[in-house]
Amino acid sequence: MAAAREKGKAVKRAESKYPFVLGSIVRIFMKNFLTYTVCEVRPGPNLNVVVGANGTGKSSIVCAICLGLAGKPAFLGRADKIGLFVKQGCMKGVVEIELFKSPDNIVITREIYVMNNASVWFINGKPTTLKTVEEKIAALNIQVDNLCQFLPQDKVGEFTKLSKTELLEATEKSIGSPEMYQFHCELKNFREKERELENLCREKTTSLEKMKQRVERYKQDVERYHECKRHVDLIEMLERKRPWVEYENVREQHEEVKQCRNQAKKELKNLKEMQAPWTRRIQEAEENLNNLDMQTRDITAEIRNISQKCKEKQDALEMKDKQIEEINQAFRMKKDEETNRQKKIYQTQKIIEEWQNELDTMAVGENLQPQIDAVNTELKNLQEEKANIDNDISDLRAEKTNQEREGKRIIDRLGQLNNIMHMKEENLKMRFRDTHSALMWLRNNKDKFKKKTCEPMMLEINMKDSRHAKYIENHISSNDMRAFVFECQEDMETFLVEVRDRQKLRVNAVCAPAESCAENLPSRPIEELHRYGFYSYLRELFDAPPPVMSYLCYQYHVHNVPVGTQKTRDMIERVIQETNLRHMYTAEEKYIIKVSSYTKQNLSSNICLKEAQYLTSSVDTEERGQLENQRQDISNTLKSLDARLTALFDRQKLLDHKDNKLRQEKKELLERGNRRRQLESKIGVKYDSLRQLEQDAIDLEKEFQLANVKIKEINKQKSELVTELTHLMKRIIPLNVVKVNLAFQMTRVTAEKNRLQSEYKEGTVQLRALQRRFHELDNRKQLLYEKCMELMKQARQVCRLGPDQGFPEEFKVAFQTLPNTLEEIDAFLNEEKTRASCFTGISASVVEEYNKQTQEIQQLTEYLEEKKNELNNYKQNISQVKEKWLNLLKVMIEQINGKFSKFFSSMQCVGEVDLHMENEEEYEKYGIRIRVKFHSSTELHELTPYHHSGGEKTVSTMLYLMALQELNRCPFRVVDEINQVRINSMVLLFLCTDAYDIVERTDFFFSFQGMDPMNERRVFEMVVETACKKRTSQYFLITPKLLQNLTYNDKMTVLFVYNGPFMLETYKWNIKQFKRRQRHLSSMTES
C-alpha cells in the first residue's frame, strides 16, 4: 500500500499472510492531516519497519494513531489545540483508525475542524460521542496517556526523567493486573489516612495530657474558690441580718417614745381643764369686741358711700369747668387761624412779586440747543467706546472660558494617563511584590546612581496599540519583563547589593549594552515583506526609553522580528523558504526556524500566542509630554488674558465717570430752557392759592357770641351740682360722730381683754412647756415610725422578700446562729471580710473553666478511643492489601528481571531489575530500580545519567521495554524518534502480549539513533527475533536509517516514507503496475 502527501509516498513492501490479534491496527487513513493531503497506511500484523528521512512524516503517523484513539493534543507535546494538526490552508482534517476485532473490525473516525478547534467522532460510520469512543478504547485496554505504553517523539525526554516511583506506577498500569495498581493506590490512600490518624492521635494524646495537667492546676483554685465562697455566703447572711437587728433597735425606741408621748398628752389635758374660767372671760371680751367692730364697719361703709357721691359731684363740677375752658380754647384757635390766614396771604403776595420780577429780568428766546447737541454727540461717542470695550471684555471672557475648559480637559486626560500608570504599578505589586518593593526603594534613592536607571520593563514599555501587546509579551521573557535596566554595571551592582543582599528581595536586573543598539536597522526594509503579509517589526509596535530599547534590540532583536497577519500563516511554507527569517509572528502564532545540522533543511516550530497580561494598559509618553506643554501654554495664556481684562475694566470705570459728568451737564442745560415756563406755571398756581385764602375768611364777632351762650348754660348746671353736694355734706357729719363713739368703746373693751390675757399668761407658761414637750415627743415618734418603716423596707430588700411575703424559715434558722447586736455583727462582718479578701484573683470563671475542661477531657478521651479503633482498622486493612499487592508485585518484578537479565546476558552484559523501597511503610516511595553493568571491570550500578552514556541509557531503556513485552497486558507502547541534537536516544514502542496469553494488541516502535553499530545490530536482531515469533502481536520500528546486512524475517513488513520534488502524484501510484514491471525486468535479467 502507499502512503503519500502532495509530493510524498509511503509504500509497503510485502503483503501480510499472518492473522492479526485483537486490537491490532489494520489501517490508518489521514486526510489534510499535518504534512499529508491524503494518506492510507496498512501495517502488517507483526513487525513493521517504518523507514524515511527526517521530516518526511514518520511522526505524523504516530500523531494520527494518538489523536485517532481519543488522545489529547497536549500529550504529543507539539501543540495544545487540535486545530493546529490540520494541514495549513485547510479548514478540516480527517483521521481514521481501523482496529482488528472478530467478526467485524472497529473503524474509529475523527473529523477535526480548525474553527473552534472542534472534533466530530464516528464509529463504523455512525456519529458518536467522545465518551463512547473512550469506552471502546478502554475496553481494549489502550492507554495513550501512559508513557510506558505510548511515548511520542516529543515526550521521550519526559520518559527518561521518570523516577523509580513513577516507573513502578507506569509498569503496573502497563503489564500488571488491574487489581495490582488498585491495591497500590489503596495502600497509598490507607497509609496517608493511617499517617493522618497517627498524627491526630499523637496530637490529641498530647492535648489530653496537657488538659489533665491544666485541670489539676485548676483543682486547687476551685478548692480555694469554694472556701472563699463560704466566707462570702456568711458575709451575705450577716449583711442580711444586720438591717433586721437595726430595725428591731429602732422599733424598741419607737415604743418607748410612744409611751412618753401618751403620758405628756394626759398631763396636758388636765392642765387645760384648770385654765377653762379664764378662757371663758377672754372669749366674752373677744365677742364684745367683735360686735363693736361690726358696727364700726357698717358706719364706715355708709360714710364711704356718701363720700363717694360727694366725689362724683365734685368731679362733675370739674368737668363743667373743663367744658368752659374748651369753649374758650376753641375761640382762641379761631382767632389764631384768622391771624395765620392773613400772614399766608401776605407771604403769597410777596412770592408772586419775587417770581414776577425774576420773570421780567429773564431773557426771552435764549437758544441752548447747540450746547445740548454738543453734549449729545460727546455722549454718543462715549457710548460707542464703552460698547467696544464691552465687546472686547466679552471676547476675552469667552476666550478665557475656552482656555479654562481646554485646561480642564488636559488635566482630566493627564489624570487618566496617571491612573493607567497606577494600574500598571498595582498589577506589578499584585504579581511581583518583591519587585514593587524594590521599585519604591529605587524611586526614593535615585541620587545614589551615576547614570539613568529605568524601572521594570513592564512599566517602561508603552504599546502604541494594546492589541499588539501579546507579541511583545510572548517575545520577551517574564523575568526580563519585571527586570530593572541600568546603563552601567556599577549602578546595577549597587542596586542588587541593596535589594538582594540586604533586603532579601527576589528581583531581576539587566545592563544595557555600552554601545546603544536602539537605532539598529533591520536586515531588510519592512516594505520588502509586505507581500508576505508582514506589516511591522516588533520595535515599531511600542515605545520605551533608550536603555530599554537598546537592551531589547541587543538581546531579543526586536528590530529584526517581523509581525504578520493571517495571510502570513496561510503562506507560511513559502515565507520560510524565501525569507530566511529565524523568528516571525503571524496573527495568533509564533514561528521559530532552525537549520538541521546534518540535512541543512529548515526545521520550523510554531507556538500559539498567550494572552497579554502586563502591557494591555499603556501610557503614550509623547502624548503625555504634549499635554504637559499644552497645560503650561494655557496657564501663560490665562495670565495674559487676566492682565488685558484688568486694563479694560480700568478704562471702563473712567468712561463711566465721564458719562455721568456729561449727563449732569445735559440735565442743567435742559433745566435752564424750562425755567421760564416753570415760573409762569408757579405764579398761576400761587394766584389760585391766594384767591382760596381770601375766600376762607372767619367772623370773630359771631364766634364770640356763640361761645358766651354755651358758657352760660354750663354755669347753670354747675349751680345745681353745688346744691346737691351741700346736702350730702350735711348727712355725713352725724355718722362720723357715731363712728368716734364706737371707737371709744372698742378701746375700753380691748384694754379689759389685754388685762385678762396678762393674768391668763402667767398660768399658761406651764401649759406651753407641756405642749412643747408633747409636740417634740410626737414628732420624734413620727420620725422613729418612718425610720422603722424604711429599715423594714431595706431589710426585706436585702433578703429579697416581696411586700406580702412572710419571713422564710431558713433565714430564722440561719439568724439564730449569728450575733444579735450590731457591735457583734459588725465585728464578725469585718473579720469575715478580712478572711475573704485573702482569696485574691479567684473568680467563678475558674469553676466554669474546671467543669468545662473536665467535660472536654471526657469528650476527647472518647474521641481518641474512637480514632484509635479506626487506626487499628486501617492497619488491618493495610496488612491485608499489602500482602496481596506485594505477592503480585514480586511475581511481576521477578518475571521482568528474568527477561531483562536474559536480554543483557545475550549482549554479554549484566542487568537486574528489583523492587526499591526506602521505608517499608512508605508505599508512595516504592519504585523499580534498574541496575546494569556494561563492562566486566565495573560493578553493577543503578541506571542514572551520571554514570552511564546516552547509548547505554538507550539500550537499557529498550531492553527494559522489551522485557515488558511478553508480560505486557496493555494494548501498546509508543516511544517515537527524538532529535539527536537534544537527547541522544529515541525509542517508539508499541508492545503487546502474546495472543495466547492476553488477547490484546501492542505496537512496538524503535529507533536506533545514538547507539554504536554493534549495539544497534544486537538490538535489531533481538527485536526481529521477539516480534516474529508465532502468534506474537504487532510491532513498529521507526528509523531514518538501517545498517547493512541485517537479519530479516518473512513476517516483517517494511513501510517506506518518501519525500521529494520528483515523487509521483497519488493518483499515479499503482502497485500492480510496479510489480509487473519488476517481474518483466527480472525475466529479462535471467534470460
What DSSP designation does 1010 have?
T
Which helix (H) or strand (E) segment is 632 a member of?
helix 621-695
Q: Please, how many CA atoms are within 13 Å of residue 492, restricted to the half-sphere of its CB?
A: 17
pLDDT for res 283: 78
Question: What would the pLDDT profile of 488-511 be if each residue is shown by its tens digit?
Answer: 999 999 999 999 889 999 999 999
| Torsion sign over Cα 944, 945, 947, 948 | positive
Reported residue count of the chain is: 1087
CA 455 to chain centre: 27
1035: Cβ–Cβ under 8 A, 6 or more apart, which residues? 46, 47, 48, 990, 991, 1002, 1003, 1004, 1005, 1023, 1026, 1027
Q: How many CB atoms are located within 10 Å of the residue 1052 CB?
A: 19
Q: Name residues of the chain where pLDDT drops below 50.
A: 1-17, 365, 978-1010
Question: What's the rounded Cα separation, in Å, for the pair 216 and 222?
Answer: 10
Which residue in the block uniquely carries the three cell numbers 500488571? 176
- Residues 75/145, Cβ–Cβ less than 8 Å: yes
215: Cβ–Cβ under 8 A, 6 or more apart, which residues? 850, 853, 854, 857
Residue type, 852: K
Q: Where are the alpha helices (DSSP H) in 696-805?
A: 700-798
857: Cβ–Cβ under 8 A, 6 or more apart, which residues? 208, 211, 212, 215
pLDDT for res 799: 74
3-state secondary structure 205-219: HHHHHHHHHHHHHHH
Helices 164-175 & 178-274, crossing angle to 10 degrees?
A: 110
3-state secondary structure 34-56: CCEEEEEECCCCCEEEEEECCCC
Helices 700-798 & 178-274, crossing angle to 10 degrees?
A: 110
Q: Which residues of 652-689 are buried (b: 16+ CB within 10 A; e: fewer)?
A: eeeeeeebeeeeebbeeeeeeeeebeeeeeebeebeee
Question: What's the rounded Cα separation, in Å, for the pair 610 and 807?
Answer: 91
Cell, residue 532: 508576505
Give the start-end residues of each E strand in 294-417: none
Q: Please, how many CA atoms are within 13 Å of residue 913, restricted to the half-sphere of its CB?
A: 29
Which helix (H) or strand (E) segment is 955 a member of?
helix 950-965
- The answer to whether the pTM exceeds 0.85 is no
Residue type, 567: K
Question: What's the rounded Cα separation, in Å, for the pair 86 and 116?
Answer: 13
Cell, residue 201: 492521635
Nearest to 201 by CA among 852, 860, 877, 854: 860
Which residue in the block uniquely carries the three cell numbers 551592582? 493
Nearest to 555 by CA among 582, 588, 586, 517: 517
From the number of C-beta atoms within 10 Å of its C-beta (0-12, 13-18, 19+), residue 697 rates as exposed
What is each CA distance from 844 to 228, 399, 628, 847, 849, in whole angstroms?
11, 82, 72, 5, 9
pLDDT for res 534: 92
- Residues 348/689, Cβ–Cβ less than 8 Å: yes
Cell, residue 807: 419571713
808: Cβ–Cβ under 8 A, 6 or more apart, which residues? 799, 801
Question: What's the rounded Cα separation, in Å, for the pair 174 and 928?
Answer: 14
Q: Radius of gyration over alpha carbons of the chain, in Å?
A: 66
Helix%, strand%, coil% for the chain, nearest 5: 65, 10, 25
Question: What's the rounded Cα separation, in Å, for the pair 938 and 4?
Answer: 50
Cell, residue 1038: 521507526
36: Cβ–Cβ under 8 A, 6 or more apart, which residues? 3, 4, 5, 8, 30, 57, 60, 87
Helix (H/G/I), strand (E/B), else coil: 98:
strand
CA 1076 to chain centre: 81
Question: What's the rounded Cα separation, in Å, for the pair 620 and 421?
Answer: 10
Q: 607 φ, ψ to 5°? A: -130, 135
| Torsion sign over Cα 327, 332, 334, 337 | negative
- Residues 50/12, Cβ–Cβ less than 8 Å: no
- Residues 94/32, Cβ–Cβ less than 8 Å: yes
What is each CA distance from 938 to 758, 945, 960, in whole angstroms?
157, 16, 21
Q: What is the DSSP string of 859-926?
A: HHHHHHHHHHHHHHHHHHHHHHHHHHHHHHHHHHHHHHHHHHHHHHHHTT-EEEEEEE-SSTT-GGG-
Cell, residue 523: 536586515
Question: What would the pLDDT profile of 659-669 be if each residue is shown by its tens digit?
Answer: 888 888 777 77
pLDDT for res 460: 85
Cell, residue 112: 477535526
pLDDT for res 1075: 78
Question: What's the rounded Cα separation, in Å, for the pair 849 and 857?
Answer: 12
- Residues 1055/27, Cβ–Cβ less than 8 Å: no
Helix (H/G/I), strand (E/B), else coil: 1086:
helix
